[in-house]
Structure 1
Amino acid sequence: MSSIMTPQKVLQNFQRCANWEDKYLYLIELGDRFCLLPVNEQTNDHKIRGCQSSVWITLTQNNNLIRLAANSDAAIVKGLLALMIIAYDQQSRQHIATFNIDAWFEQLQLTQHLTPTRAIGIATIIKQVQLISRE
């Protein structure tokens, strides 16, 4: 069995969580596991504007696949970034353009459990990633 994390596996794991406290703990665990942007790349050039937390994202292309790396100083935001990495990292521009991350977040029931500020922030980050991946 593959150990690669997929949106479907995240959904299955979320559904196994007993309550939202468990889901938040799982999100934090994903953030620690997937948000590995080195400190030397956490620069103003990679910082996302308009977020309450500090958020850094890098996108590079390798063999027509987008490499997404990210980090944040906030645990829940790191978890949300990890979800984006799971959805977008090592994927084609076409996949990033067509993957309905909003629908996936709905399936995870994330949208109603995020503060309005955090929901707006993550939507902003997703739009920026999609925009950058089209360049």
Structure 2
Amino acid sequence: MSLPADAVAALESFQSVGSWEQRARMLMQWGERLPALADEDKVEANLVQGCESLVWLVGRLQDGHWQFAASSDARMIGGLVALLLARVNGLSAAQLQAIDLPDWFTQLGLSRQLSPSRSNGLNAVLQRMRELSRTQN
């Protein structure tokens, strides 16, 4: 499966840095680039269950392809969610079901930095994306 352009850009930038400090800084920068969600989107219905941090997620289907937007109260999670969005935005519902989350973060060189709680949180975000894509086909 070919990667969306944002995912290719993420891979290239993360694979070009060596140290964890550089990766951590880059992760924060990705989080800061998340477009702000409107206040009306920051409601209980859009809150992802299963995250220790607050993460809101909205998605919409455009011409058979999903576009998601998210926001988090935690900077590190914001960066990880931004990288997840880079990987999934523009995919069809079927492609979304096939995403291998651990593999994506391994490719980025970030898997060792994913604590079990962060990993569970990201899985919860991905599960929520999959639920949205199933209900709005």
Tell me whether the two structures share a fold, i.e. TM-score over 0.5: yes
Report percent identity of matched pairs: 27
SS for the counterpart of 2:48 is coil
TM-score by length of 2: 0.85
Q: How does 1:38-77 map to 2 (within 5 A)?
A: 38-77=38-77
Matched, 1:96 2:130: no
Runs of at least 5 residues in structure 1 that lack an aligned partner in the other structure: none
Q: Distance in 1 between matches of 2:16 and 2:37?
A: 29
SS for the counterpart of 2:26 is helix
Runs of at least 5 residues in structure 2 that lack an aligned partner in the other structure: none
Contact residue 28 and residue 79 of structure 1 kept, 8 A: yes
List 4+ stretches of structure 1 deviating above 6 A.
none
Which is further off, 4-13 or 55-64? 4-13
Q: Match for 1:90: what amino acid?
A: G
Structure 2 counterpart of 1:111: 111
Contact residue 87 and residue 101 of structure 1 kept, 8 A: no
CA apart distance, 1:17: 1.6
CA apart distance, 1:42: 0.8
Contact residue 53 and residue 72 of structure 1 kept, 8 A: yes
TM-score by length of 1: 0.87
Contact residue 14 and residue 109 of structure 2 kept, 8 A: no
Aligned CA RMSD, in angstroms, stands at 1.7
Which is further off, 87-96 or 67-76? 87-96
Q: Match for 1:104: what amino acid?
A: W
Count of aligned positions: 132
Structure 2 counterpart of 1:84: 84
Q: Indicate how the Cα distance of structure 1 residues 114 and 99 shifts in structure 2: closer, same or farther if over 3 A, else same.
A: closer
